[in-house]
Amino acid sequence: MTSGHRDQKYIHGYSPIEQDRLRRQAELTEFVIYQDVNFSQTDHILEVGCGVGAQTQILLRRFPRLKASCIDINDEQLASARETLGALDYARDRFEIHKMNAEKMTFPENSFGGAFICWVMEHMPNPARVLSEVRRVLRPGSSVFITEVMNFSYFLDPYCPAIWKFWMAYNDYQYDRGGDPFVGVKLGNLLRDAGYTDVRTHVKLLYADKREPELREKLLHDREELMMSAVDELLQDGHVDATLVEAMKREFHDVRKNQNAITFDSFMQATARVP
């Protein structure tokens, strides 16, 4: 593992391909992300790092009385979120989109009755600051649901050394630029230190073997897309070379054809309450 944070850079980029990936990813992982998410007693939530609105779409569908104020730092994501949500009848008049940095929100105190954050903290150089800001704008008694990566837990069988090598280069690259691909495991400490109560953490699995070949194929495809989202950056920066990228693609091709393949990943979902 390398250390020392250099410049901050968003590892996935904001291309239309990446934006489609976020939509597919949200759809694919809904069954596990939303198992325990409950905003049925909440009228208005804050969504931090809404991206293209892929999670907002699910939240508004699942909780028909909910309104969401969504923030993101990037104009392309915000434009895409506006378009996606604007086209949904059930979302009409139920969302607001704001360009805002999660570390420095302009909402007044006590603005919302809950918060949802998904795949965002890994990109934050100062997650403690974000959690403190979120706490500031939530009313007492509000619940937060935070879903974050634990990239050390990805495993494929048969063992795929090129994929593994590429994945570790990806993680080093993100870490060196001020992100944290392992932040999921730290959510309990971060929430406790930020003064939240009832902090609970749940390890969630994205795991499939020959018993669920369709899910396995989708998970493998999703992971290949995720890794490919960073290929240009990693090549430019010399973290990987073209030979490794080719070997990684070959291994994905082979493992996707293998009837005995197993794909395993886990992530953390933390819930907590504002005192």
Residues that bind ligand SAM (CB under 6 A): 22, 26, 49-51, 54-55, 71-74, 77, 101-103, 118-120, 123-124
Task: List, as one string, the DSSP characters of 116-140.
Answer: EEES-GGG-S-HHHHHHHHHHHEEE
Q: Give least dist CB 13 to ligand SAM, A.
A: 10
114 versus 160: smaller Cβ distance to ligand SAM: 114
Is 173:237 a contact under the CB 8 Å cutoff?
yes
Q: Give least dist CB 77 to ligand SAM, A.
A: 4
Name the closest residue to ligand SAM (Cβ).
51
103 versus 225: smaller Cβ distance to ligand SAM: 103
Residues in CB range of 159: below 8 A, 6 or more apart: none
224 versus 251: smaller Cβ distance to ligand SAM: 224
Q: Give least dist CB 46 to ligand SAM, A.
A: 11
Q: Give least dist CB 168 to ligand SAM, A.
A: 20
Residues in CB range of 89: below 8 A, 6 or more apart: none
20 versus 172: smaller Cβ distance to ligand SAM: 20
Determine the Cα–Cα distance for residues 39 and 48; give it in Å rounded to an integer. Answer: 15
115 versus 169: smaller Cβ distance to ligand SAM: 115
Q: Where are the alpha helices (DSSP H) in the chain?
A: 16-33, 54-62, 75-86, 127-137, 161-176, 187-193, 213-228, 231-236, 242-257
